[in-house]
Structure 1
Amino acid sequence: MGTIDISFLSLGIGLLLSFIPLYYLWKFKTGLVKATAIAIIRMIVQLFFVGMYLKYLFLWDNPWINILWVVVMIFVASHTALARTRLKRSVLMIPIVIGFLFSVITIGVFFLGIVLQIDNIFDAQYFIPIFGILMGNMLSSNVIALNTYYSGLQREQQLYYYLLGNGASQKEARAPFIGQAMIKAFSPLIANMAVMGLVALPGTMIGQILGGSSPNVAIKYQMMIVVINFTASMLCLMITITLSSNSTFNKFGVMKPVFKEEK
C-alpha cells in the first residue's frame, strides 16, 4: 500500500489550521503576524516549486544534473548562512563554501557507498534526499555556531587577550569560544537525540513508514540520518571556523573587523 495522496481541497482545508497560531500571535500583539503569514506563503510557493523540479530530477536521473543540483544548493546554502549572520561576506563566503562542499560530499558518499552500498551513488532516489538533508542541518548549526563564535570573541576580548598574554597560542586562546559555539549549536540536536523515539517519532522514520517501509527498516535509516547529520554538521563547522579564523586574525592574534556595519 502506497502513501495516501492529499487532494488540493484537503490541503487547503488543512492549511486553515495555521490561522490558530496566527490568531494568538495577533491577540497578544507579538508583531509576528505579518512575518508569519509571509513565511507560510513562501513555504507553500517554494515547496510547490521544489516538487516541480524534483519531479524532473527524478525523471531524468542524470548523474551530472544531480551533481550540478548539489553544487547549486551548496552555494545557495552558503549565501543563506551568511544572510542570517551579521558577518561580512568577504570574510566567510569561501570558508563556508569549502566547509559545505567537503562535508556534504565526504559524509554523503560514505553513507551511500559504504553504508547503503548502492551500485550507483548518484541515483536520484537516494542522492538528492540524503544530500538535501545534510545541507539543511549543516546550515542551521553553522549559522548558530558562527554567530556565537564571533560574537563571543568580540564581547569577551579581554579574556581572549588575557589567554594570549599568558602564553596561549592563538588556537588555544580561541578554543573556549569554539567550545561555546559548539554548545550553542549542538545542544538542541543532542537533546533531541537523547529522547528520540520516546517523546516523538522523528520525521524521516514517519515518512518511510507512511511510504510503506517496515518499522525495522525505518529505524535503521533514522539512526544513520541522525549520525550523518551530526557528523557532517560538526565537520563543516570545524572547517569553516578554521579557515575563517586564518583570515580574520593577523599574525599577532588581533581579530580584524568581521561584522557588517549597521546602517
Structure 2
Amino acid sequence: MGAQDLSLLSLASLFIFLVPVFYINRQLKLAMNKTMITSIVRMCVQLSFVGIYLEFLFKFNSPVLNTIYLLIMISIACQSILKSSNLKIKKLFIPVFFSLLLPFAFILFFFNAVVVRIDNLFEAKYLIPIGGMLLGNCLRSIIIGLNNFYSGIQKNEKVYLYSLSLLCSRIQALKPYFKESIMASVIPTIASMSTIGLVSLPGMMTGQILGGSLPIVAIKYQIAIMLSIFYTEYFSTILSVLFSLKVGFNELDVLNQDIFISKG
C-alpha cells in the first residue's frame, strides 16, 4: 500500500497561502515576492522533469545511466557550492568535485552493499534517492566550510601572514581557520541528530511510513541515512578545503585573490 495520491487541484490549493505571504511582504516592503515566485516556479518545473526522468531511470535501471545521472548531480552541486561560497568555478571546480565524489561514492555504495544489502549496487530506486539525500546535505556543509575558511583568511590575512613570518608552516598557520570551518559545517547536522524524533519527524522516515513501511523499519532507515549523511558531510568538507589549497594559495603560501568572484 502506497501513499494517497494527490490531485492537481488539491496540490494547487496550497498556493492559496501565498496570498497572505505576498500581502505581508508588500506591507513590510520586503523585496521577496519576485524571488519567491521564481523559486516556486523553478521548483515545480524542475521536480516535474525529475519525476518524468526518474520513471525512465527506474524502468530501465541501467548502471551506466544511473552513474551518469549521479555525476551530473555532483557537477551541479559543485557549481552551486562554489557560487554560494563566492569562489570561481573555473579555478576550484575539479578540487571540489573530487572532494565530494570520493566520500559520496564510498558511503553510498557502503550503504547499499553493507547496510541495505542489495544485490545490484546500482539499483536505481536506492542509488538515486539515497544519493540525492547525501548530496543535498553535503551542499550546505561544504558551502559553510569553504565560505568560513576562505572568508576567515581574507578578513584576517595579516594575522595569517604574521603566523607565517614566525616560521610557522602553511598548515600550522591555517589550522585555526580549518578547525573553525569544520566545526561550523557539521554543527547543524549534529544539532539535528540530537533533536530528531523529538522536535521533528524527518523526511525519509515520514515518506516510508506514508509508503506503507512499519514505523520500526522506517526508524532503522532514518538512523542509517542520518549517519551516512553526517559521515559524507564531514569527510567532504575536510577534503574540499584540503584539495583546494593548491589552487587557493601561491608558491609563497599567500592567498590567491583571483579565486574569489569579484563583487564589483
* Structure 1 counterpart of 2:142: 142
Letter in 2 for 1:9: L
* Structure 2 counterpart of 1:121: 121
Letter in 1 for 2:60: W
Identify which range, 196-205 or 184-193, moves more after superposition.
Answer: 184-193
* Structure 2 counterpart of 1:175: 175
What TM-score comes out, normalization by structure 2 length?
Answer: 0.95
* Structure 1 counterpart of 2:226: 226
Q: CA deviation at 1:37?
A: 1.4
Query: 2-side partners of 1:100 and 1:158: how far apart?
Result: 31
Q: Deviations over 1:219-263 (max 9, x none)?
A: 111111111111111111111111111222223321111212233
Q: Deviations over 1:120-179 (max 9, x none)?
A: 111111111111111111111111211111000000112212322334221121111112
* Structure 1 counterpart of 2:74: 74
Query: 1-side partners of 2:180 and 2:22: how far apart?
Result: 35
User: Where in structure 1 are there 5+ consecutive unaligned residues?
Assistant: none
How many positions carry a matched residue from both structures? 263
* Structure 2 counterpart of 1:236: 236
* Structure 1 counterpart of 2:199: 199
* Runs of 4 or more above 4 Å deviation: none
* Structure 2 counterpart of 1:91: 91
* Structure 2 counterpart of 1:38: 38
* Structure 1 counterpart of 2:54: 54
* Structure 1 counterpart of 2:262: 261
Letter in 2 for 1:52: I
Q: Deviations over 1:40-67 (max 9, x none)?
A: 1111111111111111111111111101
Query: 2-side partners of 1:2 and 1:142: how far apart?
Result: 35
Query: 1-side partners of 2:256 and 2:123: how far apart?
Result: 44
Query: 1-side partners of 2:220 and 2:14: how far apart?
Result: 31
Q: CA deviation at 1:24?
A: 2.2
Give % identity. Answer: 38
Q: Do the aligned residues in 2 keep the contact of 1:3 with 1:212 (CA within 8 Å)?
A: yes
Q: Is 1:130 equivalent to 2:130 in the alignment?
A: yes
User: Where in structure 2 are there 5+ consecutive unaligned residues?
Assistant: none
Q: Give the SS at the match of 1:53.
A: helix
Q: CA deviation at 1:112?
A: 0.7
Query: 2-side partners of 1:24 and 1:205: how far apart?
Result: 34
Query: 2-side partners of 1:37 and 1:26: how far apart?
Result: 14
- RMSD value, Cα: 1.4
Q: Deviations over 1:187-235 (max 9, x none)?
A: 2222111111001111111111111111101111111111111111111
Q: Do the aligned residues in 1 keep the contact of 2:182 with 2:238 (CA within 8 Å)?
A: no
Q: Is 1:211 equivalent to 2:183 in the alignment?
A: no
* Structure 2 counterpart of 1:185: 185
Q: Do the aligned residues in 2 keep the contact of 1:22 with 1:36 (CA within 8 Å)?
A: no
Q: Do the aligned residues in 1 keep the contact of 2:145 with 2:241 (CA within 8 Å)?
A: no
Q: Deviations over 1:63-113 (max 9, x none)?
A: 111011111111111122222221122321111111121121111011111
* Structure 2 counterpart of 1:6: 6
* Structure 2 counterpart of 1:29: 29
Q: Give the SS at the match of 1:117.
A: coil
